[in-house]
Each structure stands twice: as C-alpha cells, then as structure tokens.
C-alpha cells in the first residue's frame, strides 16, 4: 500500500484560543470602560422623558384634577431639566436634549415672574403685621409658635387647624391679644383670629353648602383706613370629589370678595400653588392680587421633605393694600411653615 504522505491539517486549539484572546480581552475592557456612560445615558433618557411628560401634564390641569397635581412642582422641573440638559448634550443625545430645552423654557416662563419685583411703592399709612400659620392639629410643640409671636410681634394672628388643645395652649397670649375669634375643631379645619386691635365686626362664616369655617373681620380704628381680613382653608384636592369641593369653595369666596366694598387681605392654606389653574381662576374671579410675584421662591409645605417643597399658603390683597414684605417663618412643629406679612392700607 502506498503511504499517503499528506497529513490532515488540524488547528491547534491552544494556538487558536491564544490568537483570539487579545481581541476578546480588548472588547471586555472597552465594555467595562464604557458601561458608566451607557448607564448615564439610559438614566438621563428616562429622567428627561419623565420631566417632559410631567411638564405636559402640568398644563392640562383644567382637563383632569389629577393633571393639576403636576402643576405644583414647577421649580423641581426647572432644577431637574437644567441638570439634564448639559449632560444630554455631552452624551450627544441632541434630539432629546432639544425637547428637554423646550420643556425647560416652558417651565421657566411660569417660574421666572416670582423673582421680578412688582414695582409697588408704599405710601403713607400705618404698617400692620399679620402672622399666618397652619399649625397642624396634632402638633404638640405650641411653645414654638409662642416664641415666634414674641419675636415677630404681629398685630394679627390667623391660625388654621386649630383644636381645643391649641386654644388652651394660646392662653399665654391673652393679655397681648385680647380680641379672639375662634372655631376650634378636631377635623383639621378649625380656625382662629387673635388681634391686638379691636374690630368693628368679626364673624365665622360658611360658604353655601360648605361646612368649612372662614373668618371675616372688619377693622376700622381711630385714624385707620378700614379693611377686612379674610381667611379660608379649603379641603386638599385628594381625589376628584375633594378637588371639586375645593374648587367650589374657592369660587364661592371669590365671588363674595369681588363684591366687597372695603380693601381686603386674605390669608390661608389654599391647597393649591401659583401655577395651578385654580389659583389663577381665583385671582381673576376675586379681583385680588397674589403676593407670589416679586417675593421669590417661598415654599411652605411639607416642612419635612425639601425636594417636594411647594407654596401652599398664600396671601391675596386688594390693589389699595400695599405689601411691604412677605416672608416664610421658621419651623413651628407643623407640616407647614408660617407666613409673616407686613402691609399698609392705602388712602
């Protein structure tokens, strides 16, 4: 037999693996080097889409009560979009970056006015100070409010979520604030007014079919221009039924205030923010002016979680009332920060 000198060609497995291993190692190394960028792009993409969706929903508050909830967090949207935009551009996600930029401009257009002064100039008249606070019915730290009153020395104190226990805790103020109107309740809707100055009339009133107390106090002392101090606390819009009740409450008071013949100052936890269509509707219907413009970012709720800070507590006033200053007070143990407002009634 002839011997076939040709030998079958076989690849050396060891040699073959050795030849291809460097490429595999380089691929793994490149993957390990780029995964942080891939993860960052993924996170930015999702965060950007969430902020864009929230912005769109926030402008549809008149369509559905749930969409209105998105309108309250404009400042958070601005901060988030500002953080996302440059990172998206660095990651070369230009298409999404463009949409994020548009969403940022939309939110900035609604937020920016709060930082521009109104140009109002105080005229002659007596300065007054009102301290407003949603004290939280379950709050046991009543000494904090007493300390704030001692420090700020307001002429008027308006309190919400007042209970019988709170009225007992306020007794040390009796000598300085002899004029008291209160309706304490256990359902978070009690209300009280304490005043250094005597009023002409003061009543706890109710809206038509709304079992929530409001304060209506007319002041006109010697040499003082008459004005009326109002306060209301509508229900929080948690669910469609409560949102409708809050809206009806605000609409009813707005119509009442539109016909009022004296200068008006209104303070209260209105359970809405300046970017809500309900806030704008109340301002238009009442003829009053909100004090959000020119005072900057002044959130009042929730005291325990800064990322969700929003301004729920407000002051509205007639054009003949001049606001000298409006500021947020310190933590008094409530879930709301108090407001301190200095004002004059114009001649």
Tell me, yes or no, whether 173 lies in a domain.
yes
In a domain, 292, yes or no: yes
Rounded Cα gap, residues 286 and 255, in angstroms = 6
Residue 194 shares a structural domain with residue 337: yes
Do 145 and 269 have their domain in common?
Answer: yes
**127 and 202 share a domain?**
yes
Length of the chain: 347
pLDDT tens for 36-74 read 767 777 888 899 999 999 999 999 999 999 999 999 999
Position 333 pLDDT exceeds 50? yes
Residue 331: which CATH number?
A: 3.60.10.10
* pLDDT value for 18: 46
Same domain, 86 and 209: no
| Residues 103, 38 within the same domain | yes
pTM, rounded to two decimals: 0.87
Does some domain include residue 94?
yes
Question: Would the pLDDT of 220 be above 90?
Answer: no
The pLDDT value recorded for residue 295 is 87
For residue 182, the enclosing domain spans: 118-345
Domain boundary among 63, 87, 113: 113
Residue 100 located in a structural domain = yes
The CA distances from residue 172 to 142, 161, 176, 191, 208, in Å, are 11, 19, 9, 18, 36
- Edge to edge, the sheet with strand 289-290 lists 201-206, 213-219, 227-231, 264-269, 313-317, 289-290
- Give domain status of residue 76, yes or no: yes
The number of beta carbons lying within 10 Å of the beta carbon of residue 313 is 24
Q: Are 104 and 168 contained in the same domain?
A: no
CA distances from 149 to 135, 158, 208, 329 (A): 13, 11, 34, 11
Mean pLDDT of 204-227: 87
Structure confidence by residue, pLDDT tens digits, 221-246:
656 779 999 999 999 999 999 999 99
Q: Which of 316, 321, 309 is nearest to 346 (CA)?
A: 321
Does residue 1 lie within any of the structural domains?
A: no
Same domain (yes/no): 201, 105: no
Verify that 176 and 270 share a domain, yes or no.
yes
**Domain final residue pick, 56, 90, 113:** 113
The answer to whether residue 127 sits within a structural domain is yes
| Number of compact structural domains in the chain | 2
Q: What is the pLDDT of residues 10-40, one digit of tens each?
A: 555 444 444 444 555 555 555 455 677 677 7
Among candidate residues 51, 86, 113, the one where a domain is terminated:
113
Residue 314 included in any domain: yes
| E-strand stretches of 251-320 | 264-269, 289-290, 313-317
- The reply to whether 59 and 196 lie within a common domain is no
């Amino acid at each position: 037999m002839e011997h076939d000198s040709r030998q079958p060609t076989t690849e050396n497995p060891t040699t073959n693996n050795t030849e291809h291993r460097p490429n595999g190692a380089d691929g793994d190394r490149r993957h390990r080097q780029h995964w942080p960028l891939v993860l960052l792009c993924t996170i930015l993409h999702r965060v950007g889409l969430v902020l864009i969706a929230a912005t769109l929903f926030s402008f549809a508050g008149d369509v559905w009560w749930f969409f209105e909830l998105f309108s309250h967090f404009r400042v958070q949207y601005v901060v988030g979009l500002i953080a996302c935009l440059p990172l998206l551009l660095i990651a070369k996600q230009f298409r999404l970056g463009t949409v994020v930029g548009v969403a940022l401009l939309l939110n900035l257009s609604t937020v920016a006015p709060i930082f521009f002064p109104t140009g109002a100039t105080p005229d002659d008249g007596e300065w007054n100070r009102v301290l407003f606070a949603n004290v939280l019915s379950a709050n046991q730290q009543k000494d904090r409010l007493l300390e704030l009153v001692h420090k700020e020395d307001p002429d008027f104190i308006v309190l919400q979520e007042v209970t019988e226990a709170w009225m007992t805790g306020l007794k040390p103020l009796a000598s300085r604030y002899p004029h008291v109107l209160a309706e304490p309740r256990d359902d978070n809707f009690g209300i009280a007014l304490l005043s250094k100055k005597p009023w002409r009339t003061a009543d706890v009133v109710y809206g038509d079919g709304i079992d929530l107390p409001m304060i209506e106090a007319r002041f006109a002392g010697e040499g003082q221009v008459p004005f009326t101090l109002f306060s209301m606390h509508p229900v929080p819009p948690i669910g469609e039924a409560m949102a409708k009740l809050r809206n009806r409450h605000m609409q009813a008071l707005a119509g009442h205030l539109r016909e009022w013949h004296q200068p008006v100052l209104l303070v209260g936890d209105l359970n809405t923010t300046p970017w809500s269509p309900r806030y704008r509707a109340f301002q238009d219907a009442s003829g009053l002016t909100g004090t959000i413009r020119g005072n900057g970012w002044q959130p009042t709720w929730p005291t325990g979680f800064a990322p969700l800070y929003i301004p729920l507590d407000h002051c509205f006033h007639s054009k003949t009332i001049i606001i000298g200053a409006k500021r947020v007070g310190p933590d008094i143990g409530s879930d709301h920060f108090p407001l301190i407002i200095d004002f004059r009634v114009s001649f």
